[in-house]
Amino acid sequence: MTDIDLEPVFLLLALKNRKCFSCGTTQSPQWRRSQYHDAIKDRFLLCNACGLKSAKGQFCSYCLRVYYLSSEEEYVTCDRCGKHDHASCAEFVGRNHTPYRCKSHYELESL
């Protein structure tokens, strides 16, 4: 037996433990690291579909989960940039004001 024979087993085990932080799937043709929270990026491993959306900024500012607007969750939309965040997350941090500002615009404008 050579070392080469062992390699796929390790790969398989590594893949088996992978779980998308956002949607919870354990099945993905490709895994992506989220660009936010780089220091703890392994916690924020994303499946292929969520990774693509995350790269386009389609994630909630507060819980960092990628959103699918067709889902049943409620969203608030930033008055400045049109970014969506979960209504429940914005409410949790007390920022569900009208007109709504996303996290970065809220911080910019409250300086």
Site membership for Zn ion, residue 22 (CB under 5 A): yes
Closest Cα partner for 70 from 82, 58, 54, 52?
58
List helix spans (H) across the chain.
3-16, 48-55, 87-92, 103-109
Closest CB to Zn ion among residues 11, 52: 52
Structure tokens at 90: 């914005």
Out of 18, 19, 23, 96, the only residue in the binding site for Zn ion (CB under 5 A) is: 23
Structure tokens at 40: 């703890």
Residues numbered 40 to 99 that lie near Zn ion (CB under 5 A) are 47, 50, 60, 62-63, 78, 80-81, 83, 86, 89
Structure tokens at 61: 């500012």
Residues of this chain that interact with Zn ion (CB under 5 A) are 20, 22-23, 47, 50, 60, 62-63, 78, 80-81, 83, 86, 89, 102, 105
